[in-house]
């Protein structure tokens, strides 16, 4: 059964801290792994990873995939209160529907 597990489930940090969010997966015929940020509304797309070892970076956020370990990490440096959200990891397999298997997410709270 396809599965995506995220850790930690919840994290509270102070502004300026660096955080690392983890995602591990078991998916038949893996195609890609995606990270989303979900605040009060719907998730917004952050990164898509398909190849191992290649870091994707956007401002203070970066992510990398390890296909050997079946995992990915999302790093946020110099956190700000606006980074407070649920971070969702999703994995896509080799089906025609482009469907995503989501983890439960990591709830990040950044306090001033």
Partner 1 sequence: EADIYQTPRYLVIGTGKKITLECSQTMGHDKMYWYQQDPGMELHLIHYSYGVNSTEKGDLSSESTVSRIRTEHFPLTLESARPSHTSQYLCASSTGQVSSYEQYFGPGTRLTVT
Among positions 52-111, residues that touch partner 1 (CB under 8 A) are 88, 90, 92, 96-100, 102-104
Among positions 43, 79, 85, 87, the unique one binding partner 1 when judged by CB under 8 A: 43
How far is residue 37's CA from residue 84's CA, in Å, rounded to a whole number? Answer: 9
Q: Euclidean distance between the first and final Cα of the chain, in Å?
A: 41
How far is residue 2's CA from residue 25's CA, in Å, rounded to a whole number? Answer: 8
Q: Is 28 in the site for partner 1 (CB under 8 A)?
A: no
Give the shortest CB-102-to-partner 1 separation in angstroms: 4
3-state secondary structure of 81: helix
Give the shortest CB-80-to-partner 1 separation in angstroms: 23
């Amino acid at each position: 059964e396809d599965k995506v597990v995220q850790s930690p489930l919840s994290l509270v940090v102070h502004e300026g801290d660096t955080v690392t969010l983890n995602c591990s997966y078991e998916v038949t015929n893996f195609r890609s792994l995606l990270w989303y940020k979900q605040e009060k509304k719907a998730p917004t797309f952050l990164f898509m990873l398909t190849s191992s070892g290649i870091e994707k970076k956007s401002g203070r956020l970066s992510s990398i995939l390890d296909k050997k370990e079946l995992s990915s990490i999302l790093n946020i440096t110099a956190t700000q209160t606006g980074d407070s959200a649920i971070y969702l990891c999703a994995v896509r397999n080799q089906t025609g529907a482009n469907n995503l298997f989501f983890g439960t997410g990591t709830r990040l709270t950044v306090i001033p």
